[in-house]
Amino acid sequence: MATRVSATEAVRTFSDLLNRVRYRGEEFVVERGGEPVCRMAPALAAKRLSLGQLADLLREFPSPDAKFASDVRGVVKSQGRTPKSPWGR
């Protein structure tokens, strides 16, 4: 269950609250005027993919049709050249 804290207390102890969320997994509900405004909770871990998994995922996408490829070529041609770097690179 989340601990309720006032917005004023959250501002005064923000760093401590973040540490408690990150390292202890605690949750807090921040209130303003006694009404809940937001919840501070540990972020979900991002799902990581291996290169093989990414390749498998990309194979599942449908191939673009000829019209799409034609549109992309037209947009690329309409962009013009990239300006030369003033730094000589």
Write the DSSP symbol of residue 34: T
> pLDDT tens-digit profile of 40-76?
999 988 788 899 999 999 999 988 888 998 999 999 9
Total-model pTM: 0.53
d(CA 56, CA 26): 37
Instruction: Tell me: pLDDT of 14 over 70.
Output: yes
Instruction: Tell me: pLDDT of 88 over 80.
Output: no
Question: Closest by alpha carbon to 31, among 51, 7, 59?
Answer: 7
